[in-house]
């Protein structure tokens, strides 16, 4: 952190709430993630640490080298240090669908038998399942003017999304949860060598939240574009069925679960605005584009799942 605060660390691009840096440390390159003060908590410290314990030894996982709080001018900020992952993220996430699903399978396997207290269990769907009315009310003052259509989309789809997420929620089994798994967070460094980065939201979940979000982010035609690619969607659902046993009949609920991530929350939008005044409007416009195509994309998911189910051999898994 002395190198970061002294301006001797290389800032890395990102539009999230946290800040990332590359630091030269002797002959090693390190990744330093500085969490925003508002979300630097003991619970976050414990979540990230517990996930690290569950995933150590996985080839694609960069283990924590140091984890702690930096006492700066404002509130203490959580700092996570890992090895820097060399390589290139993909602008076209469709190239990484097989790798993404393989990681999803590993995350599910690593969660098998894990026990975690309630404070460490949750994902982007949790606030909407636990307190949808409150979340909707809090964000409403932000959805004025050009964002009124976003509010109408929330009201039109929220109940449907919550029901889909509830149907995919288990009681006992936990999955290790990355929180933002898509092609851009898979760093390729040679044939077959991948590193999964950005573990800011890591924790544990009782539903396939990573898979739901990855469906939308890995199968779209391009970054910033929420038109799903039929071929990529079919590949994703087919691989998910083969690796995790996800039934094709659950594809629509998986899409509904993932869509909950695209509902704006007051706390997230306001924190983005504090980091950069342009980020709040950028984010609202980004998710509004998602909702303008939601129903057409949901129909596409249904068609892809139906084709896969029709082509499946009788008596197959």
Domain positions in the chain are 2-83, 93-311
Average pLDDT on 246-272 reads 96
DSSP codes of every residue in 184-232: GGEEE-STT-EEE---TT-EEESS-HHHHHHHHHHSEEETTEEEEPHHH
Residue 228 near residue 255 (C-beta atoms within 8 A):
no
Tell me the sheet residues that pair with 145: none
Please provide the DSSP assignment of 69-136 as one string.
Answer: EE--SSS-EEEEEEE---SB--SSGGGGHHHHHHHHHHHHHHHTT----GGGB--TTHHHHHHHHHHH
The tokens for 9 are 């660390």
Q: Residue 89's CB: how many other CB atoms inside 10 A?
A: 16
Going across the sheet that includes 19-25, the strands are 10-12, 19-25, 28-34, 77-83, 66-70
Instruction: Please choose, from the candidates 142, 143, 140, 121, the residue with its C-alpha nearest in 3D space to the C-alpha of residue 132.
Output: 140
Percent of the chain at pLDDT exceeding 90: 70
Residue identified by tokens 């659950």 is 250
Q: pLDDT at residue 258 above 90?
A: yes
pLDDT reported for residue 153: 96
Please check whether residue 165 is in contact with residue 263, taking contact to mean a CB–CB distance below 8 angstroms. no
Average pLDDT for 170-175: 86
Burial group, residue 117, by CB count within 10 angstroms (0-12, 13-18, 19+) = exposed
Residue 8: DSSP 8-state: -
Please give the pLDDT value at position 317. Answer: 57
Structure-block tokens of residue 142? 């932000």
In the 8-state DSSP scheme, what is residue 201? T
CA atoms within 13 A on the CB side of 12: 19
Tokens of 256: 């509904």
Cα 212 to Cα 256: distance, rounded to the nearest angstrom: 8
Tell me the mean pLDDT in the region 263-268.
95
Rounded to an integer, what distance in angstroms lies between the CA atom of residue 135 and that of residue 101?
31
Question: What pLDDT is attached to residue 191?
Answer: 67
Lowest mean pLDDT among 1-15, 55-69, 180-194: 180-194
Give the model's pLDDT for residue 49. Answer: 94
Task: With cut-offs at 50, 70 and 90, classify the pLDDT of residue 15.
Answer: low
Residues 93-311, CATH architecture: Alpha-Beta Complex (3.90)
Indicate the average pLDDT of the chain. Answer: 91
**What's the pLDDT tens digit per position in 107-164?**
999 988 888 888 899 999 999 999 999 999 999 999 999 999 999 999 999 999 999 9
Q: Which tokens go with 129?
A: 């399942």
Distance CA(142)–CA(12), nearest Å, equals 29
Strands (E), 133-193: 175-177, 186-188
Residue 32 has pLDDT above 60, yes or no: yes
Q: What is the pLDDT of residue 138?
A: 97
**Which tens digits make up the pLDDT trace of 268-312?**
999 888 888 999 999 999 999 999 999 999 999 999 999 999 998
pLDDT computed for residue 38 by the predictor = 85
Checking if the pLDDT of 3 tops 80, the result is yes
Are the CB atoms for 60 and 195 separated by under 8 Å? yes
Q: At residue 40, does pLDDT exceed 80?
A: yes
* 13's tokens: 């691009």
Query: Rounded to 5 degrees, what are φ and ψ at 221?
Result: -65, -30
Closest C-alpha to 261, from 305, 189, 207, 197: 207
> What DSSP designation does 54 have?
H
Q: Alpha-carbon distance 101 to 234, whole Å?
A: 13
What is the pLDDT averaged over residues 52-61? 94
Q: 62-111, pLDDT tens digit by residue?
A: 999 999 999 876 789 999 999 999 888 777 888 889 989 999 999 999 98
In the CATH scheme, what architecture does the domain 2-83 have?
2-Layer Sandwich (3.30)
Q: What is the pLDDT of residue 315?
A: 65
**260, β-bridge pairs:** none
């Amino acid at each position: 952190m002395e190198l970061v605060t002294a301006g001797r660390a290389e800032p890395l691009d990102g539009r999230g709430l946290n800040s990332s840096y590359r630091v030269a440390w002797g002959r090693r390159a390190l990744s330093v993630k500085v969490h925003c003060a508002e979300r630097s908590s003991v619970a976050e410290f414990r979540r990230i640490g517990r996930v690290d314990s569950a995933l150590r030894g996985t080839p694609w996982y960069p283990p924590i080298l140091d984890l702690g709080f930096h006492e700066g001018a404002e509130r203490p900020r959580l700092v996570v240090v890992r090895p820097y992952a060399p390589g290139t993220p993909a602008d076209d996430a469709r190239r990484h669908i097989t790798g993404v699903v393989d990681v999803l399978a590993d995350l599910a396997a690593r969660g098998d038998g894990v026990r975690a207290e309630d404070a460490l269990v949750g994902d982007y769907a949790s606030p909407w399942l636990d307190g949808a009315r409150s979340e909707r009310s809090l964000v409403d003052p932000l959805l004025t003017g050009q964002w009124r259509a976003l509010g109408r989309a929330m009201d039109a789809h929220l109940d449907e999304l919550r029901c889909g997420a509830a149907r995919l929620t288990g009681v006992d089994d936990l999955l290790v949860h990355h929180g933002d798994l898509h092609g851009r967070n898979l760093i390729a460094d040679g044939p077959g060598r991948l590193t999964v980065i950005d573990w800011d939201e890591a924790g544990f979940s009782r539903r396939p939240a990573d898979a739901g979000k990855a469906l939308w982010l890995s199968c779209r035609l391009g970054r910033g574009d929420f038109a799903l690619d039929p071929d990529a969607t079919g590949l994703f659902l087919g691989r998910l069925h083969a690796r995790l046993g996800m039934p094709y009949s659950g594809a629509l609920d998986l899409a509904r679960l993932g869509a909950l991530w695209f509902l704006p929350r007051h706390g997230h939008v306001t924190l983005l605005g504090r980091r950069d005044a342009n980020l709040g409007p950028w984010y609202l416009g980004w998710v509004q584009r998602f909702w303008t195509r939601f129903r057409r994309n949901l129909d596409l998911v249904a068609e892809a799942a139906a084709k896969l189910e029709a082509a499946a051999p009788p008596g197959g898994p």
